[in-house]
Amino acid sequence: MDTRPRARRPLVAALLAGCLGLIAAPALADGPIVIKFSHVVAANTPKGRAADRFKQLAEERTKGRVRVEVYPNSTLYKDKEELEALQLGSVQMLAPSLAKFGPLGVKQFEIFDVPYMFPNAEFLERIEDGPIGRKLMAALEPKGITGLAFWDNGFKVFSANKPINVPADLKGVKMRIQSSKVLEAEMRALDAIPQVMAFGDVYQGLQTGVVDGTENPWSNMYTQKMHEVQKYAVDTYHGYLGYAVIVNTKFWQGLPADIRTILEGAMKDATAYDHEIARKDNDEAMDAIAKSGRTTIIHLTPAQRAVWEQALAPVRKEVAGRVGSDVIDEIVKEQASIAKH
């Protein structure tokens, strides 16, 4: 029989539980910290897979103190709503494409939409990891948003229901674009008719003829089944599609410091994973589209691609005021210095 005074027993039990590691850490008092991570693409895309990898690493390494709920395919929010939801704190993490920051007032991000500005993913990573990338992320802070990483998808192709061999083939074609003024200028340079539409509405928009064509990397085209409603695609690789992984600053700063450090590590590794898989995912998606027989893929020779480059060249000058001519100059200089070495 326990003869100790009754009042002492809970304390002893608590101490014992503490020694056994049974007492919850402060963060666990009300259950785990939940990070809702909303995005608009399919789970089997570079962004979808990197988001799932972040979830796995974050949950493993925090030993359950953090739970990451990933909502793919616009199941929670579409493009514009997700940014509002992040600012309101309804979700904590997003990875919008770099073309979608204009409506937030951070139009400098549209530099990534300038046609034929970036020769390859390696060069992009250099820019993103350097002073330009850091400056862009810093521009998010006044909006209550913290940028954690840049993720890759790939280079875009044009698609439509008519053969597209040369720029003039897009004349008068209604083309869906993301909410970027640079992409609007790009379509106008081709005499196409740009129409902004949320990513989650594109399949239906193409199916019903609200728009006739679009642009995206192969991975998005395939996983959204756009190839079922587009007869032709041309491998112009005229522009880049990448992402900024962002969090609500208040939420991020409110995390226990040790948790934040673990999450930063998980994000670093998820980012490396994204960079590793992006190219292959797009190559595989292109093969799958070709194999489906639904979309005819037009492969350009370098000389044919140069014709597209020439048609889109005026865009750079036209949008310099919007994205910053100093940034354009810096990128051009960086490219020239690499070419020299």
Binding site for ligand LMR (CB under 6 A): 40-41, 47, 97, 153, 178, 199, 216, 220, 241
Tally the residues of the chain.
341
Q: For 160, left (φ over 0), alpha (ψ -120 to 50), or beta? A: beta
Q: Which contiguous run of DSSP H or E holds residue 187?
A: helix 181-189
Residue 296 bridge partners (DSSP): 232
Q: Which contiguous run of DSSP H or E holds residue 145?
A: strand 145-155
Q: Which is nearer to ligand LMR, 41 or 298 (CB)?
A: 41
Smallest distance, ligand LMR to C-beta of residue 14, A: 49
Smallest distance, ligand LMR to C-beta of residue 178, A: 5
Smallest distance, ligand LMR to C-beta of residue 17, A: 46
From residue 335, how far is each of 162, 190, 238 by CA, in Å? 35, 26, 17
Smallest distance, ligand LMR to C-beta of residue 177, A: 8
Tell me the two tokens of residue 154. Answer: 């790939």
Q: Which is nearer to ligand LMR, 48 or 167 (CB)?
A: 48
Q: Which is nearer to ligand LMR, 255 or 286 (CB)?
A: 286
Q: Which is nearer to ligand LMR, 66 or 217 (CB)?
A: 217
* Residue in the block written with tokens 């897979």: 49
Smallest distance, ligand LMR to C-beta of residue 53, A: 17
Exposure string of 158-188, with b = 16+ CB inside 10 Å and e = fewer, is bbbeeebeebebbeebbbbbbbbbbbbbbbe
Instruction: Judge contact between 194 and 260, C-beta under 8 A.
Output: no
Residue 216 bridge partners (DSSP): 157
Q: Which is nearer to ligand LMR, 97 or 249 (CB)?
A: 97
Q: Which is nearer to ligand LMR, 218 or 232 (CB)?
A: 218
Smallest distance, ligand LMR to C-beta of residue 274, A: 12
